[in-house]
Chains A and B, each alone.
Chain A
Amino acid sequence: MRFSTIFIVALRALRRNAMRSILTALGIIIGVAAVITMVSIGNGAKAQIEAQVATLGQNIITVFPGSFSQGGMRSGFGAALTLTPEDAEAIAAEVEDVDGVSAEITERSQILANGLNWNTTVKGESPDYPYIRNWLVAQGTMFNEQDVKSLAKVAVIGKTVADQLFPNEDPIGQTLRIRNLPFRVVGLLDTKGFDMRGQDQDDVVLIPYTSHMRRVSRRTNINTILIQGSAPDKLDKVKMDVEDLLTQRRRGREPDFTVRTQEEIATMATATSSTMTLLLAAIAGVSLIVGGIGIMNIMLVSVTERTREIGIRLAIGAHGRDVLTQFLIEAILLSSLGGIIGVCLGIAASEIVSQTNGWPVLVSPSSVFIAVGFSAAVGVFFGFYPARKAARLDPIEALRYE
């Protein structure tokens, strides 16, 4: 018997019991819809965090100063200021596949301009900084290498600072005072929004790191080094090279720095939401298995109830395999049809959740394929036993069955 004919036979059998077929599929429908919705909500949360991480820039590797211990008391990461601008310069000069390096030094400071004052973060950076952070200069220009070399008193400011200090006027060309030193505003950054910790990234003033070290903070160390790798697949290599180079530069002293790729930072940030997604998906997966058992139950009942039908089919020339295939197809049809309807329902439910609660929801194609594939597999797995039972019936016994 041709497969297409068995398919028609199976379809007719399902149609004969339309109501029961729908109810049977309902278990799978709910299971799949639950999986899709849960995974979508989880993925949405994860994507949101990842998007925030991505505002850091593309392919970023960050070098943090390490911890130090003094008289047995150990400080945390970042407390030891052991990174130098020379480290940054060495990285830029010697490590391959690096598109940009910025020595970063950060300090909060009170700044004055226009008769107004504002407490903000003053960052010393390299000219590569906007490029690394993928942060355009909206007006004016970024300061350049020449400015870094000459310790120029120039500043590029964020939108928030501009709004606070230069309301209703063009900030470019204006002067602001940091520690009473006048800095000329040469550029205005694009709006960037809030970072992962909810801090306003636009509340910032960028000046050359050399100016920051010599004129503002009077420090010899920098806080962090931002490095941009040339491609995502080069990041691990760059990270290792940076570690090797810095270790070399320490000349046998214990490594006092930590190198983290953006991916690692993102992984840490999304770890919780990943666990939650997994948990929710597992719970939904259980309901999918319960749905599968429902299919097996109905198929078993159906084999008993349709014993006579099976007897007729066997008597008029059906092979055991024909009957097996028919029942298997019925089970697979039920489960995969349920899977497809479940996917639609799950996507709709995700939409509703995102509309009503304002949660970010992301339906991933992979979860859709996995859910449909899994539900079909459930059909094969739970359909096989009843189908085999049907195929092994004795035609005489089956015909006599009341």
Chain B
Amino acid sequence: MPPVVQIRDIHKIYESGEVPVHAVRGVSLDIHKGEFVALMGASGSGKSTLMNLLGCLDRPTRGSYLLDGIEIEKLNRNELADLRNQKLGFVFQGFNLLARTTALENVELPMLYGRHRRLGMSEIRERAMHCLEIVGLANRHDHFPNQLSGGQQQRVAIARALVNEPQVLLADEPTGNLDSKTSVEVMGVFQKLNDDGITIVMVTHELDIASYTRRNLILRDGVVVRDEAVQNRLIAHKELARIGQAEAAAKLVSSPAA
């Protein structure tokens, strides 16, 4: 089975300033179906640029990128948009939900732009509800983002990313704006999705968050310096139970969940 993401010697050079910036300098990468990859690196290592390239938001200066067998260099702006809509799901650091729009309507959004299949409004609603159920927020479907906690907002964003059944779910520092416990909750959602067979690529700079994934890629100065499987993988629901007990011991909460 061919890899979902196949990158060969990809380069990205920004010409906007006086000095061209060589952000990505020859990355080759295969990501297969069902993988859970953490893309790590210090600030300026090129991981965000690589993420934009993976997300088809930007085009490489050189090199080839096959997403689910499709060569993206040859696509125009609209075709890239369709590809993002059909093959990719995005989760951002800042959640990027539409303000003053209910959770349900936020999740419906990618389906409204879906050209590959035409759904009726009732079907769109149904599928959005289903995705909210997966992330455990079906009961909050009519809440606005400002009525939800950060973790809940991120879960709505994940539901939105899932709704078009993407080949790859791309998450750009999904836990960057969250506290540690909520971060673990969100990682739990990702692990559950991954266990169900969804491919996830995630950018993070937190080592402990990376250890919830299956494979870690370290980027430095625009090249991959390390690519290894995760040893001693953390399991989110176990960690959550541990945190719960610690909190109970410190009298932060009344009693651990029975």
Q: Which of chain A's residues 265-322 have a Cβ closer than 8 Å to chain B? A: 308-309, 311-322
Interface residues on B, range: 20 to 34
A44 in contact (CB, < 8 A): no
- Find chain B residues with CB under 8 A from A322 CB: 113
Among B1-9, B84-92, B214-222, B227-235, the stretch that binds chain A is B84-92
CB atoms of B105 and A315 under 8 A apart: no
Please determine whether A320 and B96 come into contact, CB atoms closer than 8 angstroms. Answer: no
Give which listed residue, A9, A16, A316, A320, contacts B99 with CB less than 8 A. Answer: A16
Contact across chains for A16 and B112 when beta carbons are under 8 A apart: no
Contacts of A5 in B (CB 8 A): 112
1/0 per position for A1-31, CB-CB distance to B under 8 A?
A: 1100100110010001100000000000000
Q: Which of A12, A309, A311, A317 contacts B110 (CB 8 A)?
A: A317
Q: Inside 8 A of B98's CB, which chain A residues have their CB?
A: 16, 309, 312
**Other-chain contact of B77, A1, A2, A320, A399 (Cβ < 8 Å):** A320
Q: Is B82 an interface residue (CB 8 A)?
A: yes
Tell me which residues from 9 to 65 in chain A have a Cβ below 8 Å from any Cβ of chain B: 9, 12, 16-17
Taking a contact as CB atoms closer than 8 A, the residue among A16, A311, A313, A396 that contacts B113 in the complex is A313
User: In the bound complex, do residue A318 and residue B81 qualify as a contact, i.e. CB atoms below 8 Å apart?
Assistant: yes
Interface status of B73 (Cβ within 8 A of chain A): no
Interface string of A111-126 (1 = CB under 8 A from B): 0000000000000000
CB contacts (< 8 Å) of B114 on chain A: these are 317
Contact B92 A399 (CB under 8 A): yes
**CB proximity to A under 8 Å, residues B93-108:** 96, 98-101, 105
Residues of A within 8 A of B58 (CB): 396
B-side contacts of A315, CB under 8 Å: 55, 57, 84, 90, 96
- Chain B residues contacting A308 (CB-CB under 8 Å) are 96
**A395 located at the interface, meaning its Cβ lies under 8 Å from any Cβ of chain B in the complex:** yes
Main secondary structure of the interface of A (DSSP, over half): helix
The answer to whether A316 touches B57, judged by C-beta atoms less than 8 angstroms apart, is no
Among A1, A16, A309, A317, which residue has the most Cβ atoms of chain B within 10 A? A317
A322-B57 Cα distance, complex, nearest whole Å: 17
How distant is B106 from chain A, measured CB to nearest CB, in Å? 9
Q: Which of A8, A12, A316, A317 contacts B101 (CB 8 A)?
A: A12
- Give the docked Cα–Cα distance between A232 and B123 (Å): 62
B118 touches which of A2, A16, A317, A399 (Cβ 8 Å): A2
CB within 8 Å of A: which of B104-155? 105, 109-110, 112-115, 118, 121
Residues of B within 8 A of A9 (CB): 112
Interface size on A, residues (CB 8 A): 25
Within 8 A of A (CB), among B154-186: 160, 164
Residues in chain A near residue B85, CB distance under 8 A: 316-317
CB-CB under 8 A from B52, the residues of chain A are 396
Query: Known interface pairs A317-B84, A395-B57. Does A1 touch B99 (Cβ–Cβ under 8 Å)?
Result: no
Q: Is the CB of B113 within 8 A of A1?
A: yes
Q: Which of A2, A17, A312, A396 sits near B96, CB closer than 8 Å? A: A312
**What 1/0 mask marks residues of chain B from 41 to 69 whose CB sits below 8 Å from any chain A CB?**
00000000000100101100000000000
A314 cross-chain contacts in B, Cβ below 8 A? 81
Known: A1-B115, A16-B101. A316 touches B77 (CB 8 A): no
Quick one: CB contact mask for A372-402 with B, threshold 8 Å, 1 for yes? 0000000000000000000000011001000
Q: Which residues of B are found within 8 Å of A312, using beta-carbon distances?
A: 96, 98, 109
Residue among A8, A16, A319 making CB contact with B78, cutoff 8 Å: A319
Min CB gap B43→A, angstroms: 15
Contact partners of B78 in chain A: CB under 8 A = 319-321
CB neighbours (8 Å) of B100 from chain A are 16-17
Please measure, in the bound complex, the distance between the C-alpha atom of A318 and the C-alpha atom of B86, giving whole angstroms.
11
Minimum CB–CB distance for A314 against chain B, Å: 7
The chain A residue with its CB closest to the CB of B106 is A312
A396 to B55, CA, bound (A): 10
Q: B110 to nearest A CB, angstroms?
A: 5
The CA of A29 and the CA of B75, in the complex, are separated in Å by 45
**Is B113's CB under 8 angstroms from A317's CB?**
yes
Q: Would A313 and B57 count as touching, CB distance under 8 A?
A: no
Residue of A nearest to B100 (CB): A16
A1 touches B112 (CB 8 A): yes
A317 touches B86 (CB 8 A): yes
Q: Which of A12, A316, A319, A321 is in CB contact (< 8 Å) with B90?
A: A316
In angstroms, how far is the closest chain A Cβ from the Cβ of B156? 13
A387 CB, nearest partner CB in chain B, Å: 17
- Which residues of A have CB within 8 Å of B110? 316-317
Q: Which residues of B contact A396 (CB under 8 A)?
A: 52, 57-58
Can you list 18 residue pairs at the A/B interface with Cβ under 8 Å?
Answer: A1-B113, A5-B112, A12-B101, A16-B100, A16-B101, A309-B98, A309-B99, A312-B96, A313-B109, A316-B85, A316-B109, A316-B160, A317-B82, A317-B86, A318-B113, A321-B78, A399-B57, A399-B96
Chain B residues near A (Cβ < 8 Å): 52, 55, 57-58, 77-78, 81-82, 84-86, 90, 92, 96, 98-101, 105, 109-110, 112-115, 118, 121, 160, 164
* Other A-B pairs beyond A9-B112, A319-B81, 15, CB < 8 Å: A2-B118, A16-B99, A16-B101, A312-B98, A312-B109, A313-B109, A313-B113, A315-B57, A316-B113, A317-B110, A317-B164, A318-B113, A320-B78, A396-B57, A396-B58
In the A-B complex, the 8 residue pairs with the smallest Cβ-Cβ separation, listed nearest first, are: A317-B85, A16-B100, A317-B113, A316-B110, A319-B78, A318-B113, A5-B112, A312-B96
